[in-house]
Every structure is written in C-alpha cells, then in structure tokens.
Amino acid sequence: MTRKVLRIGICMLHAFLLWQLTPAQATISPQNMADINVNTTGPVSFPLRIITHNTRYATSSPFKGEKPWPDRRPLIISELLHQTRFLDGQAAPAGSFICLQEVLHQQLQDILSGLNDSSDSEWQHIGIGREDGMQKGEYSPILYPTRIFKLLNFKNIWLSPTPDKPSKGWDAGSERILTIGVFENRHTGQRFMAANTHLDNEGSVAREKSVDLILETLEDVRREWAQVPYFLAGDFNSFPTQEAYKAMIASGQVADVYSLVPEALHFGDENTFTGFQPDTDEDKDGIGRIDFVWLGPKSAIAGEPGNREPGNRESCWIAKGYSVIPNVFDAGVFASDHRAVVADVVMR
C-alpha cells in the first residue's frame, strides 16, 4: 500500500512539473511576450539543428555534369531525411529547421512531399517566389516540423531600396529576398526568429547593401518580439574575404557558427560551393565557402569573447557542431552544385 501511494505521489509531482513547463495558451502577439517568458527563465534548453542548402533550381538547360531535377530529387530528399531524423517531432523538444535556396515552386512541393511521406511528422514552410511574391521564381523557404514549432509570425522582404514589392536592388542581376519567421517551441515555450536568404551572385554593391538591410530588418523584428534571439542561414555568394561576409562580421551583431565551433570538431569539407565539375577549370573560380549559418545577437551567444559563459543560463545560444555534407557519392550524381551546411546548437 505504501509503495502504491508513493507511486501515485510521484506521478502527481511529475504531472505538476510538466504543467509548469507548458507554455500558456494565450493570444499570440508581441505584446504578451514578456509574460510568457516567465516560464522560460529556468534551465530549460533544447537541441536545434539548422540546415542550409542551395539545392540548385530545376533548370531545363543543365550544365555539363549536372543531372536534371528528377535525378537529383531523391538525393536531396534522402539527405534532408537523414539530417533531420528524430529531429522532426519524434524526440521533442529537440528540433530542426531546413533553409533552402534556389528552389522553384514544384521543387519545394516535391521536397515537402518527400519529407512528409517518409516520416511521422508534418513539415510546413514559409516563403514566396521572388519574382512575383507568390509562386513565380526561386524561393528561399524555411521548412519546419509543426509537431515541435509553432509559427507565430512571418514576413518576406526584397533586398532592394523598395523591400515591400518585387524588385532588384542596386547592381543585382536578379530579385533577391529575405524570409523571416518567429517561432515558439511547443514543448519549452521558448521563442526565437529564423531567417533565410540568398544574396546576388553578380552585384557586389547589392550584396553589401543587402547585408545592411537584412541586419536592420532582423533588429526591427526583434524589437517587435521582445528581443528574441535569431539565426540567419543562406547562400551569401561571398567568400569570407569578400564584402558581404566582412560586412556581417563588422556589424558586431552576429557570429558565424563555423568560427564558434572549435576546428577540431568540424566535420566534412571546407568548401560549400563545388560546381558540377570541381576537378576541372570550369568552376574553379567559384569554389569556396559561401554558405553560412549565423547566430545573433552576439550578446546572447555563450563563449563569445566578453560575453556570457556557457554555464550562465542567460545565454541563449550554445554552438555545438558544424558540418559540411558531401553532395556526390559513388554513383557520381551531384545532388547540387552546393554542399549542405549543418549547424548544431543548443537554445536555452
């Protein structure tokens, strides 16, 4: 009898603790953010995997060495399933985000179908076609598992002097966009911002000014949502020695996960763009590290010089791992001309 009473007591205590950690079911708005944050000031944390991959748009005129999308599609889907296994709702509160670049509408539908048909989760996306703000042109979408993350707010802007409408910016060769979402972990109540972009490959001025606009927009959204932390992923078409990367570093607002994780813990290759003929002279000028995952703000990153230490619970981000995933295997079919970048972090 005593053991039975003890078991009942333990179960009641467990239920009470779970209730204490469950986020309030209040109306979702930036104004009530401060009140809900009361539930997240304790030692609550969750692992988060951030994947960014320029999957190469489904062209009707493939480069030499490039296979058409129907041949590349199963490779991309298998890669994403592998990288998000047990991070799609099956091991809550751990989760993952997929940030893609260059995908056309049908490619996006193919990838979502592949993810949802092969897992027990439900993946959804935010993002628009860059040419008309609907379905035309390339997307820079953010994919997320709805069993873990609740979408609270999202927006898209064009990287140009007229960010509220489809437009090219400065010396850019194409329209470029930024996708932003504010999310809440359904299990911990923590809120944060996810952002994804693809900077222009032609315009140096456009890349530099786009960085300014992106960082300004992120700060604007943070102010609306009680200074939530954020990550930014994407193809920056900029080596670390070039203007866009230098502007990101010079801003003092963000940190590259590549630099936050000790080099001994990196996995995979250095270069993220390979082209489809990396062993020839065809793509050699573009080969390098141009795809990145950034964390912000720097004041919320544990271990940054002068910032909070990992043991301080006020830190929001702790960088744990950095990987660059192969884009070709024994069969010789390139999944894309880019390799995926994977950042493993902890948010608390």
pLDDT digits (tens, 9 = 90+) for 254-288: 999 999 999 999 999 999 999 999 888 777 778 99
The pLDDT of residue 5 is 41
The pLDDT of residue 314 is 55
The pLDDT of residue 90 is 85
Contact between 288 and 338 (Cβ < 8 Å): no
Dump pLDDT digits (tens) for 19-37: 333 333 333 343 333 333 3
Dump pLDDT digits (tens) for 217-254: 999 999 999 999 999 999 999 999 999 999 999 999 99
Confidence of residue 216 (pLDDT cuts 50, 70, 90): very high
Nearest residue to 144 (alpha-carbon basis) of 51, 252, 35: 51
Contact between 261 and 279 (Cβ < 8 Å): no
Distance from C-alpha of 22 to C-alpha of 211, rounded to nearest angstrom: 37
The pLDDT of residue 278 is 86
Count of beta carbons in the 10 Å neighbourhood of residue 217:
17
Rounded to 10 degrees, the C-alpha dihedral 282/285/287/290 comes to: -140
The pLDDT of residue 284 is 77
Q: Indicate if the pLDDT at residue 73 is higher than 90.
A: yes
Question: What is the CATH T-level fold of the domain 47-347, as seen in this structure?
Answer: Deoxyribonuclease I; Chain A (3.60.10)
Overall average pLDDT of the 80-90 stretch: 93
> Which pair of structure tokens corresponds to residue 32?
């009530």
Indicate the domain borders of the chain.
Answer: 47-347
Instruction: Give the strands of the sheet with 230-235, arranged side by side.
Output: 149-158, 177-185, 191-198, 230-235, 291-296, 255-256
Dump pLDDT digits (tens) for 145-166: 999 999 999 999 999 999 999 9
Overall average pLDDT of the 321-345 stretch: 98
Dump pLDDT digits (tens) for 110-127: 999 999 987 667 999 999
Rounded to 10 degrees, the C-alpha dihedral 236/258/112/96 comes to: -140
Contact between 293 and 82 (Cβ < 8 Å): no
Dump pLDDT digits (tens) for 306-320: 454 444 445 599 999
Contacts for 9 with CB less than 8 Å, ≥ 6 apart? none
The pLDDT of residue 271 is 98
Query: What is the maximum alpha-carbon separation in the chain?
Result: 79
Q: What's the whole-model pTM score?
A: 0.86
